[in-house]
């Protein structure tokens, strides 16, 4: 998932230990910043999204991310041993 201008790109991956998230930020003239982390539940992921200042610039991307993460966490709950 990425913003229309390509500045922010986020990928979500379900693993056996939760949701693995990789977020890349590349603003023009600035360093590329890639952060990778893991979330074990949906509320922690929402908290992280709310802390992301770029959600004001990219509200649609932020909303899609939360929805997608909710789906992945639901799948995890349904199949806890999924890898």
Partner 1 sequence: MPTSYSAIATPRLTLAELAGAPDFAGRVAAVAARLAGAEDEAQALHVLEAAADTMGLDAAAFVSFVHDDASHESFRFLLACDPVWCFEYERRAWYATDPWLAYALTYSEPARGHEIRAESEQQRAVMELSEQYGFRSSLIVPAPSSGKLTRLGVLCLGSATPGFFDDDGYLPLKLVARGLAMELHGWWIERIKREVIMQARLTEEDLTLLAHERRGLGTKLMANALNVSPQSINSRFQRMNARLGVPNRKAAARLAAEYGLI
Give me the residues that bind partner 1 (CB under 8 A), please.
13, 15, 17-18, 20-22, 25, 29-41, 44, 47-48, 51-53
**Nearest distance, CB of residue 1 and partner 1, angstroms:** 16
**Nearest distance, CB of residue 60 and partner 1, angstroms:** 19
CA 15 from centre of chain? 14
Between 3 and 41, CB nearer to partner 1: 41
Backbone φ and ψ of 11, nearest 5°: -120, 140
**Nearest distance, CB of residue 63 and partner 1, angstroms:** 18
Backbone φ and ψ of 32, nearest 5°: -80, 130
| Residue tagged 């949701």 (tokens) | 19
Between 22 and 74, CB nearer to partner 1: 22
Rg (CA), the chain: 13
What whole-number distance in Å separates Cα of residue 68 and Cα of residue 36? Answer: 17
């Amino acid at each position: 998932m990425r913003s229309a201008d390509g500045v922010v790109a986020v990928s979500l991956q379900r693993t056996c230990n939760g949701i693995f998230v990789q977020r890349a930020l590349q603003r023009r003239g600035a360093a590329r910043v890639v952060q990778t982390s893991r979330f074990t539940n949906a509320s922690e992921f929402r908290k992280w999204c709310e802390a992301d200042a770029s959600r004001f610039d990219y509200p649609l991307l932020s909303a899609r991310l939360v929805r997608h993460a909710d789906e992945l966490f639901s799948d995890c709950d349904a199949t806890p041993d999924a890898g």
